Amino acid sequence: MTERLYYHDSFQKEFEANVVSCEREGDRWKIILDRTAFYPTSGGQPHDLGRLGEVEVLEVADLPLSPAPASPVTPPAGMTHDMVHYTSAALPVGPVQGKIDWARRIDHMQQHTGQHLLSAAFIELFGFQTKSFHLGRLTSTIDLEAPSLTPRQLEDAERRTNEIIFEDREVAVRFGTAQELAEAGIRKTVEREGVLRAIEVEGFDRQPCGGTHLARTGQAGLLLIRKLERSRNLWRVEYVAGYRALSAARADFGILIQAGSLLTCATSEVPAAIAKLTEERRGQHTAGKKMEERLAQLEARELLKKLSSGSASDSLRIVAATLNDATASYLGILAAKLIAESNVVALLGSRAAGHVVFAQTKGSSSAHDLGALLRETLKDFGGKGGGSKDFAQGSVPNAADLEQVVQRAQKSLSSK
Ligand SMILES: [Zn+2]
């Protein structure tokens, strides 16, 4: 049975041990030591990385020796699990020096200890229990059981957590039976035999846990809540602590500086500047739409004027035109203006948008089905589209084909 050094001292970065066994498993090696400071994946916290001698440790797992219930709380005595170090190469049986990847470990301890504090703050302030915890690559989450959760409550829990961090309270490891811990006021009742391990934050919280923790709350630096989302019947609160909080705050500030520079204003004025821009944009959009309507009206009149003077308004007038820079939406507006006149068929294309619109005056003397004509015409150009008998639109992959599309449709109409 591997002796777990981190149980008593989470700050041991290097240790001496003996390789008890070394077996090949796929392309990795499975190593068991007599004692280890490596933490295995469990209780929501990922495993440590590091080295055994010159060999890289890829994963550390807590594997059951015999069927045993999975629990984040593993008794230090009479253990039912053994610790397996998966490495990139083999090691001879005998003495070896272990070295933990400290940056990764301290990061995990900051997030994990932060979780204890945040969970305890939610209980102290609102009685909301934490149902699960996940330590992710960039952020961590706790799932809370709560009827509802307001932004104000999040802020209160965040402030209380940071108060405890700034007070730099002691974080101690306690051992005892379930009954002893219950009498001492443990947060979660545990129905397990033997000696249990609990983490006590001086005068604030005591809960059963087998993970690695900081020695003092101040080492967590700062905890920031980043996101709230509903996850089935629970509330998922995302947070960062320690160096991650520093990185997150630094990245947020970088974004704010960038936004200020793009808007040429002070960072504090960014929201007002965005609101002003949005308002202006809305106004310009409305004005642009009105101008498009007026332009389309004029352009429609011009296109109808260009038709041979012989075509009277009681005979069918076919307007075929390819525009250079019209948007698909403008093409639609122009078509609507054209077919507002009696007996008009509009065959319009836009080179810029690669778009075509075929439309005709409702109830005109044309008996054509423009939806069918559009599909038939586009087929040869690899385009796609559709619509009704009176209004159809589509696009072609090669905008250079547009002129031909319109011409072919016009020819097809004239021949009928
Ligand atoms: Zn813990």
* Element of type H or E holding 152: helix 151-166
192 and 84 part of one domain: no
Domain boundary among 226, 261, 296: 261
Tell me the H-state helices in 198-320. 243-262, 270-306
Q: What is the pLDDT at residue 182?
A: 80
Torsion of CA 178, 184, 187, 192, to 10 degrees: 0
The CATH number of the domain holding residue 198 is 3.30.980.10
Judge contact between 40 and 47, C-beta under 8 A.
yes
Residue 35's domain is classified under what CATH number? 2.40.30.130
Let me know whether 163 and 244 are in one domain. Answer: yes
Ligand 1 center–CA 354 separation, angstroms? 60
Give CA–CA dist 129/122, Å, rounded: 7
Q: Kindly state the tokens that stand for 287.
A: 């004005």
Q: Are residues 297 and 401 in the same domain?
A: yes
C-alpha of residue 197 to centroid of ligand 1, in Å: 10
* Number of domains within the chain: 3
120 C-alpha to center of ligand 1: Å? 12
Q: Is residue 255 part of a domain?
A: yes
Choosing from 69, 100, 131, the residue where a domain stops is: 100
Residue at 272 is within a domain: no
Q: Give me ligand 1 centre to Cα 103, in Å.
A: 18
- The rounded Å distance from CA 115 to ligand 1 centre is 8
pTM: 0.75
Check residue 75 and give its pLDDT.
43
**Alpha-helical segments (H) within 12-150:** 102-126
Per DSSP bridges, beta strands 384-387 and 391-395 are: antiparallel
How many angstroms is it from 279 CA to the middle of ligand 1?
Answer: 49
339 alpha carbon – ligand 1 mean position (Å): 73
Q: How far is the CA of 208 from the centre of ligand 1 (A)?
A: 7
d(CA 250, CA 114): 19
Tell me the C-alpha distance between 260 and 346, whole Å.
48
The verdict on 61 and 133 lying in the same domain is no
- Centroid of ligand 1 to alpha carbon of 93 (angstroms): 33
Domain check: are 109 and 89 in the same one? Answer: no
22 CA distance to ligand 1 centroid (A)? 30
Are 360 and 251 part of one and the same domain?
A: no
| Ligand 1 centroid from CA 133, angstroms | 10
Cα–ligand 1 centroid distance for 116 (angstroms) = 6
Residue that is last in its domain, among 78, 100, 122? 100
For position 76, what pLDDT does the model report? 46
pLDDT in tens, the chain (416 residues): 889 999 889 999 999 999 999 999 999 999 999 999 999 998 888 999 999 999 999 999 988 764 444 444 444 444 556 899 999 999 999 999 999 999 999 999 999 999 999 999 999 999 999 999 999 999 999 999 999 999 999 999 999 999 999 999 999 998 888 888 888 777 766 667 778 889 999 999 998 898 999 999 999 999 999 999 998 889 999 999 999 999 999 999 999 999 999 999 999 999 999 999 999 999 999 999 999 999 999 999 999 998 865 555 568 899 999 999 899 999 999 999 999 998 999 999 999 889 999 999 988 766 789 999 999 999 989 999 999 999 999 999 998 889 999 999 999 988 76
57 plus 128 within the same structural domain:
no
Helices 243-262 and 102-126: crossing angle, nearest 10°? 90
Query: In the prediction, which pLDDT does 312 show?
Result: 55
How many whole angstroms from 21 Cα to the centroid of ligand 1? Answer: 30
Residue-level pLDDT at 1: 80
Q: In what order do the strands lie in the sheet with 140-145?
A: 129-135, 140-145, 234-241, 223-231
Q: Is 384 left (phi over 0), alpha (psi -120 to 50) or beta?
A: beta
Residue 269 lies in a domain: no
117-140 residue pLDDT tens: 999 999 999 999 999 999 999 999
Please tell me whether residues 84 and 202 are part of one structural domain: no
- Indicate if 341 and 204 belong to the same structural domain: no
CATH number of the domain residue 383 falls in: 3.10.310.40
User: Is 271 part of a structural domain of the chain?
Assistant: no
Say if residue 113 is in the same domain as residue 85. no
Distances (CA, A) of 379 to 127, 204, 304, 395, 408: 66, 73, 29, 11, 12
For residue 60, report the distance from its CA to the centre of ligand 1, in Å.
18
Q: Cβ contacts of residue 409 below 8 Å, gap of 6+?
A: 320, 347, 358, 373, 374, 377
Rounded to the nearest angstrom, the distance between the alpha carbon of 117 and the centre of ligand 1 is: 10
- Specify the DSSP class assigned to residue 272: H
Ligand 1 centroid vs 75 CA: distance in angstroms?
A: 14
- For residue 45, the CA-to-ligand 1 centroid distance in Å is 9
What pLDDT does 68 receive?
Answer: 43
Give the distance (Å) from ligand 1 centre to CA of residue 76.
Answer: 15
Radius of gyration of the chain (CA): 36
| Spacing, Cα 109 to ligand 1 middle (Å) | 9
Q: Quick one: 18 and 69 in the same domain?
A: yes
Predicted pLDDT at 118: 98
How many angstroms does the Cα of residue 118 sit away from the middle of ligand 1? 12
Q: What's the domain range around 353?
A: 284-415
